[in-house]
């Protein structure tokens, strides 16, 4: 009997030890893993949106800088057209203008494909469209000849990675 009592006492102590052990249950561990997964998923979506925004801004900045530099260069040189004569403005189409500046230098701006060229050298890429418009002194009537030109309007649309930027500038040559 004494032996039986000792065995029972040992079993009771062992069961108490098992019940008093510290730790997490399997259900608690699964709940923690699920919660951490949800939080990580939300954080990943926020970081991904930030990265997309950054890439979009870089793309927009690139086309803005390239378009602005191209249109400013064209405007600066168009302001220097020597005179409003057929000899000094030999070509004036929507995609091409050829003129002589005050120094007698022949300059050509043209648009082909997705590139704007200045006398054969690339001025800008990623151009969706470009058009030159020629107006008389009232600013609304289209000029039919070089002698009638008072304003040259440059319209271009830059595009890169889904970003589109329209630019427009009206220039009055100084010597007219």
18-65 pLDDT tens trace: 555 678 899 999 999 999 999 999 999 999 999 999 998 988 899 999
Q: Token pair for residue 57?
A: 């801004």
pLDDT higher than threshold 90 for residue 15: no
pLDDT bracket for residue 12 (50, 70, 90): low
Residue span of the structural domain in which 63 resides: 29-171
Best CA proximity match to 67, nearest among 26, 108, 3, 128: 128
Question: How many separate domains does the chain show?
Answer: 1
**CB contact at 8 A, 168 and 153:** yes
7 in a structural domain: no
80 in a structural domain: yes
Quick one: pLDDT at residue 39? 97
pLDDT bracket for residue 151 (50, 70, 90): very high
39 in a structural domain: yes
Q: Which whole number is the average pLDDT over 142-147?
A: 94
Quick one: pLDDT at residue 138? 95
100 vs 12 pLDDT, higher one: 100
Q: CA 63 → CA 8, 30, 41, 166, 167, distances in Å?
A: 85, 50, 33, 10, 11
Half-sphere exposure of 105 (CA within 13 A, CB side): 10
23 in a structural domain: no
13 in a structural domain: no
HEC per residue, 59-87: HHHHHHHHHHHHHHHHHHHHCCECCCCCC
6 in a structural domain: no
Q: CA 121 → CA 104, 110, 148, distances in Å?
A: 19, 10, 29
Quick one: pLDDT at residue 6? 64
128 in a structural domain: yes
**CB contact at 8 A, 53 and 163:** no
Quick one: pLDDT at residue 18? 53
11 in a structural domain: no
Quick one: pLDDT at residue 176? 86
Quick one: pLDDT at residue 19? 56
Q: Which whole number is the average pLDDT over 154-160?
A: 95
Quick one: pLDDT at residue 24? 87
pLDDT tens per residue across span 73-115: 999 999 999 999 999 999 999 999 999 999 999 999 999 999 9
Contacts of 80 (CB under 8 A, 6+ apart): 101, 102, 103, 173, 174, 175
């Amino acid at each position: 009997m004494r032996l039986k009592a000792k065995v029972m006492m040992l079993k009771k102590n062992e069961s108490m030890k098992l019940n008093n052990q510290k730790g997490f249950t399997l259900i608690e561990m699964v709940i923690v893993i699920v919660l951490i997964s949800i939080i990580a998923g939300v954080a990943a979506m926020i970081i991904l949106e930030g990265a997309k925004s950054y890439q979009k801004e870089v793309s927009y900045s690139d086309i803005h800088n390239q378009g602005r530099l191209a249109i400013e260069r064209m405007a600066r040189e168009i302001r220097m057209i020597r005179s409003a004569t057929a000899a000094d403005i030999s070509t004036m189409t929507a995609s091409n203008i050829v003129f002589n500046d005050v120094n007698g230098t022949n300059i050509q701006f043209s648009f082909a494909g997705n590139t704007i060229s200045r006398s054969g050298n690339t001025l800008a890429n990623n151009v969706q469209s470009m058009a030159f418009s020629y107006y008389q002194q009232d600013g609304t009537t289209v000029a039919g000849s070089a002698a009638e030109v008072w304003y040259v309007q440059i319209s271009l649309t830059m595009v890169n990675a889904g970003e589109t930027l329209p630019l427009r500038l009206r220039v009055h040559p100084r010597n007219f």
